[in-house]
Structure 1
Amino acid sequence: MDPFPRLVSETVTAMITAAWPTTPEESQEWLRHHGIDPDTATERAPRGLSGNWDRARTLGWGSADSGWGTFRGEFVGANWFLWRGSSSDEVMAAAHALADLLTQAHGAPTEATESTEHGGTWLWQLPDHVIDMYAYHGLTRPDGFPAGDACVQLHVDLRERAEAQEEHARAHPAERPAPLTPPDQ
């Protein structure tokens, strides 16, 4: 599987142990340092004080789609859609391997659930960062509704900025950033 779960875990750990960027210029360099090519991204229409870019390539990560977001002009975090095009079993195995590696590196998740309807979710609320992972198994849901492609959605955010963005979004629902969806869905 490309990328290997170990590479993803190592990249996440490198990101959260590095100095976190603030300005757009710092963000571009930081993304490049961690393998994300910001020149391949598509900017989505900004919502209120939030900006989002997606569909960037991560070097050596196969078909993974990468993105990032800002709030009040400051870098909040990076995200990926991983292992699209793989079977449900392969995606779920990679998700569990990644969850295990992240747990070894950062401790037990604050929350973890698995569901036959969607797949699984894991959340690590670290002192300075948040790691969110959603595994979509891609199987038809129990209600018969198609679930979309199997993939893993992963977010790594600076906790202080992500919480400020979420607080602002709750107070201004019309400005809430549109939820990310896997490309081609």
Structure 2
Amino acid sequence: MSELTPSPADVARTLADMMSAAWPTTGDESRQWLTRHGIDPDSATKRTSGRGVGHSWARARMDGWGTADAGWGTFRDEFVGVNWFLWRGSSSDEVMTAAHALADLLTQAQGIPTEAEESTEHGGTWLWLLADHVIIMYAYHGRPRPDGFPAGDACVQLHVDLRERAEAQEEHARAHPAERPAPLAQPDQ
């Protein structure tokens, strides 16, 4: 595997640092927290009002993280979590190798995933339901699906949320399906 930026170890270290830090609540705390963890909140180029009581920001940059896009979301004006699209523009094999390396590092740090599934259709999914946080990772191999439908670019989509706030947001979404925002999709090139 060629050297990917960021390395899976850099991503795992950033997640561990975020999860061990005090989680922000207010907008000002969130901006400071994001900056402290290497995300430039002023570089976000997309803001979405989530047809309800949440908002999300996407396409923020991180110095030294190559093509990675970072984003974050709020629910009832409280910070919920961060997400990334990693390693876009890399080959399918490089992305899947990096995804497995990251899954291994997260498993070493956080324990065996609550759920893990490999799929020939898209790549793989890993979920860690921890006491205070939720980590979700999707690996997209970028190959055409078995039905011939294009799959999009190879990349890893990664989320880390404060579990209490993420569960409250999901509960609200189930109770108010008309307000549910569209799921995050891979950002445009």
What TM-score does the superposition give when structure 2 sets the normalisation length?
0.96
What are the ranges of 5 or more consecutive residues in structure 2 without an aligned counterpart?
Answer: none
| Aligned match for 2:108, one of 100, 104, 126 | 104
Mapped partners of 1:11, 1:129: distance in 2: 14
What are the ranges of 5 or more consecutive residues in structure 1 without an aligned counterpart?
Answer: none
| Aligned match for 1:77, one of 73, 76, 81 | 81
Say which is worse superposed, 148-157 or 35-44, in terms of deviation.
Answer: 35-44
**CA shift for structure 1 position 3:** 0.4
Is the CA contact 2:50–2:180 (under 8 Å) kept in the aligned structure 1? no
**AA matched with 2:175:** A
Q: Which residue is 2:164 aligned to?
A: 160
| Aligned match for 1:181, one of 182, 185, 189 | 185
SS in 2 for 1:140: coil
Mapped partners of 1:60, 1:166: distance in 2: 33
- The 4+ residue runs of structure 1 with deviation greater than 3 A are none
Tell me the C-alpha RMSD between the 2 structures. 0.8
Mapped pair 1:11 → 2:14: yes
Q: How many residue pairs were aligned?
A: 185
| Aligned match for 2:91, one of 87, 92, 97 | 87
SS in 1 for 2:145: coil
What TM-score does the superposition give when structure 1 sets the normalisation length?
0.98
Q: Which residue is 2:24 aligned to?
A: 21
Mapped partners of 1:174, 1:124: distance in 2: 28
Percent of residue pairs bearing the same amino acid type: 75
**CA shift for structure 1 position 183:** 1.2
Deviation track 1:69-93 (CA, whole Å, cap 9, x = no partner) reads 0000000000000000000000000
Mapped partners of 2:185, 2:10: distance in 1: 23
